[in-house]
Structure 1
Amino acid sequence: MLKSIWNYLTYVFRPVPGDIAPLNAPRAIGIFGVITTHLSQTLEQHDRILGFSPYWKNFYDSASQFMDMFFVLSGFLIAGPLIARMEAGKGIKFGEYFIKRTLRIFPAFYIFITLYAFVLMPATIGKNPTPEAAQVVAETKTNAIVEYLYLSNYLEGIQYHTWSLALEEQFYLIIPFFLAFIYIRTPDRLRNHLLISLYLMPFVYRLWAHFTFMADFPASGPEMEHAYHKYIYHPFHGHADSLLMGVIIGRLHVTRPAQLQEFFNRKGLNLIILSIAALAVAGMSLLVNEFTYGFLNQVVRFNVFNLFYGYFLLFLAYRPDFWISKIFAWKIFSAPAKLTYTTYILHVVGSLPATALLIGLDGYVEHKYVLLYGLATGAFVMFLAYIYYLFTERPFMILRDVIISRMKGKPLPPMPAPP
């Protein structure tokens, strides 16, 4: 009994067989980056920044690139095993797929939305007996429906960060049907062309938006920021190319592993590519701000980041001997990687007590030190996420495994490791 409890509590800290270990670190780094950028933006909106620097602002705002990294990784890990089945002449087990996705994603998210809309908000704002407070509580409960339907990247929800969960869920819903009814019926020689064509569609949309209606908004400021989020950053049709980049590298990983290994074994060439790509990403991060109207800012930046992360994730998988890969494979990253989902769900609400303690309700922060506060806040939120994980994610993962084990046939295979 005690051993079972111990195993339950420590599961998140143990590496999972079959995982590509170096891919855990980007997830852990990414979630801390997202928390830091949201902290920086919140402090800036409330005029709590000292020593403001446009370069620090660009640096913090550009941590949104980690969302592109998460999207690439999701496309890779979700589509890769499905493509492996299709390429092997096997069909997709839709029931198994949706059971796995549903029990992995829905419980933790739905529980959070329900507690926030129907318990937390009424218990805090609802205590103030004013018509305005009552209206806020009522609107929150109504808008929770948007969250339950995973439409918050198009309609107003109750948490500003849930747009990405909606976008990913839309991808999870579409991808098995696309692979089963379009991809597999496309001649093999044209499948890469199909995926690349789909990858370019959001770019074409952003290009069209840039030269038409986006040009009508002020070049910067709150109105532009709102328009950018509404028409470019949040919608599936404006941001799905990062997920599709993950599908593309997933197909390459499944169908061309030997060629990829041969390519990544060319150490000199890859060192040059990695160095140039890293410089390009650093330049975009420091010199370009996505909330300012511009071709690089709001059209090309997505492609710069998802191309880089597509290459970099494959590099980590195929070059475990490289020093960065060795560091990223450390077991210390395993637990944070498993907790990224619950951490992301909780981080907006969970950051409040941490920032109140570290900064105070009326405190100020030097712009250059926001990163340190972001790391401390992230550690606190991840602790909360671990507790939340034990109650809202792990039990349903166990249930998922039990259901899958009782279904006929073998479960979907994990992403195959590089040769």
Structure 2
Amino acid sequence: MHRLPGLDLLRSIAIVWVMFFHTFLIGGLGPDWAWLTRFGWMGVDIFFVLSGFLIGSQLLRKLQRGEALQLGDFYWRRAWRILPAFAVVLAIYVFFPVLREEPNLEAWWQFATFTLNLLIDYGHNQAFSHAWSLCVEEHFYLLFPLLAWWATRRPSVARVATLFAALVLGGIALRAGIWLHNDALQPQRPWFIEDIYYPTWARLDGLLMGVMLAALRVYRPQLWERLQARTMASLLAGLAAIALAIWLFQDRTGLVANAIGWPLLSFGLGLLVLAASSPRVWAIPGTDWLAAASYSLYLSHKIAMHAVYTWIAPATPLQGLALFPVYAAVIPAVGAALHYLVERPGLQLRDRLAGSPRGVEAGSMPA
């Protein structure tokens, strides 16, 4: 799949928005900027929709052409896409505690097995906790090819629609049930994070929305083209749905937001992806680099933030927003080092081992 400037723009917005959200670790940007930072966690949901769309398009296109899924090749490419940079950052967190944004870290094997999001004790071990989203992505990579193969053996609109509806409604019921259960018991732990926000089975909406777009693109290309011809309508409808979701998430841990807020947010983001995937969207300088380096930036940005906050800020007279240019220089520098020294060489080695020239990677998450 060739690069699309609109999708690069969405990736760039997603990674920057997530990093703004995580400024709470360094005291935040102040009340005047709360409108920008408060909902930055939604950047991860942008990545989920993009992952579902791009990986879904890649695999469904092969199935639609009647090609056999080469699962070994798919898992091989995904592993080389994710593991080298992830392993380096995990080693930094394990062996250099001074660089952690929080003192305590879960056992290394939870990260290595991508079970962190299911087993984390968030109340005590918050360092590198943003790896939870990589766990969700890995579970998607593992299971989706098998599910796609099953669903397309005998293609049926009714069959696929029933499956999608069951997953959406099941997610609503599951999150609502978990919320009501925990709200009644009030366990002495951060149950919203551990039971609703992190677990894979509660966070399928974004990935599912992306896969639905991919299925539409592959199996109904004429309808897809007609929808893409209405880019502005998709954009405005998507922004309206996201605005409604933001209104629901004013109470981020509330029942209504966690029951129906996630599918609503994913629907709005899906419409943005539909609009952004139009080839008529112009490229914006810098977004291609941010998109390409988004995975390395996602992995390393908390380390960079912590380093500035702990060692550079106390040594300068700068305070508050005056320090922002320092963070804006150090965070991309650390991310670029990881991207150019580990992530890209890993991809080049992967392709040399596979004996094929490097193509455009179809991934989307900062994973």
Superposition TM-score, scaled by structure 2 size: 0.85
- Corresponding residue number in structure 1 for 2:265: 305
Please report the RMSD computed on the Cα atoms of aligned residues, expressed in angstroms. 3.3
Change (3 A) 1:413 1:349: closer
1:210 to 179, 189, 197: 179
- Stretches of structure 2 that go unaligned for 5 or more consecutive residues are none
Change (3 A) 1:27 1:95: same
2:297 to 343, 366, 370: 343
Distance 1:63 1:414 in 2: 24
- Corresponding residue number in structure 1 for 2:350: 400
1:282 to 233, 240, 243: 243
Amino acid corresponding to residue 352 of structure 1 in structure 2 = H
Contact residue 248 and residue 261 of structure 2 kept, 8 A: no
Contact residue 52 and residue 214 of structure 2 kept, 8 A: yes
Contact residue 242 and residue 269 of structure 2 kept, 8 A: no
- Stretches of structure 1 that go unaligned for 5 or more consecutive residues are 1-16, 126-135
Distance 2:302 2:361 in 1: 34
Change (3 A) 1:230 1:405: same
2:284 to 321, 327, 330: 330
Contact residue 80 and residue 253 of structure 1 kept, 8 A: yes
Amino acid corresponding to residue 48 of structure 2 in structure 1 = F
* Cα deviations by residue, 1:204-235 (Å, 9 ceiling, x for unpaired): 211222333335439xxxx68x2111111100
1:38 aligns with 2:22: yes
Distance 1:65 1:241 in 2: 13
1:240 to 195, 204, 207: 204
Change (3 A) 1:242 1:29: same
1:178 to 123, 147, 154: 147
Distance 2:263 2:323 in 1: 30
1:87 aligns with 2:41: no
Amino acid corresponding to residue 75 of structure 1 in structure 2 = G
- Corresponding residue number in structure 2 for 1:7: none
Indicate the structure (1 or 2) with the bigger Cα radius of gyration.
Answer: 1
Contact residue 182 and residue 191 of structure 2 kept, 8 A: no
Distance 1:373 1:364 in 2: 6
Q: After TM superposition, give the deviation of residue 37 of structure 1 in Å.
A: 0.6
- Corresponding residue number in structure 2 for 1:353: 307
Q: After TM superposition, give the deviation of residue 186 of structure 1 in Å.
A: 4.3
Q: After TM superposition, give the deviation of residue 115 of structure 1 in Å.
A: 2.5
- Corresponding residue number in structure 2 for 1:152: 116
Change (3 A) 1:331 1:58: closer
* Cα deviations by residue, 1:363-398 (Å, 9 ceiling, x for unpaired): 9977xx6xx966863553122111111221111101
SS across alignment from 1:212: helix
- Corresponding residue number in structure 2 for 1:107: 84
**Stretches (4+) displaced over 4 A:** 56-59, 356-366, 372-376, 410-415
Change (3 A) 1:414 1:236: closer
Q: After TM superposition, give the deviation of residue 163 of structure 1 in Å.
A: 0.5
Contact residue 93 and residue 128 of structure 2 kept, 8 A: no
* Cα deviations by residue, 1:323-354 (Å, 9 ceiling, x for unpaired): xx32xx22421111011101111011111233
Q: After TM superposition, give the deviation of residue 361 of structure 1 in Å.
A: 8.6
Contact residue 203 and residue 241 of structure 1 kept, 8 A: no
Q: After TM superposition, give the deviation of residue 62 of structure 1 in Å.
A: 1.2
Change (3 A) 1:276 1:256: closer
Distance 1:214 1:194 in 2: 30
Distance 2:228 2:360 in 1: 28
Identity over the aligned pairs, expressed in percent?
Answer: 23
Change (3 A) 1:146 1:91: same
Change (3 A) 1:89 1:378: farther
Distance 2:229 2:47 in 1: 26
1:316 aligns with 2:241: no
Distance 2:82 2:362 in 1: 18
Q: After TM superposition, give the deviation of residue 113 of structure 1 in Å.
A: 0.7
Superposition TM-score, scaled by structure 1 size: 0.75
Distance 1:150 1:209 in 2: 22
Distance 2:144 2:66 in 1: 17
- Corresponding residue number in structure 2 for 1:62: 39
Q: After TM superposition, give the deviation of residue 275 of structure 1 in Å.
A: 2.8
Amino acid corresponding to residue 293 of structure 1 in structure 2 = G
Distance 1:281 1:294 in 2: 18
Q: After TM superposition, give the deviation of residue 282 of structure 1 in Å.
A: 3.2
1:293 to 232, 239, 254: 254
Distance 2:269 2:324 in 1: 23
Contact residue 59 and residue 286 of structure 1 kept, 8 A: no
1:120-135 matches, within 5 Å, as 120-121=96-97
Distance 1:414 1:169 in 2: 15
- Corresponding residue number in structure 1 for 2:327: 377
Q: After TM superposition, give the deviation of residue 360 of structure 1 in Å.
A: 4.2
Distance 1:116 1:411 in 2: 32
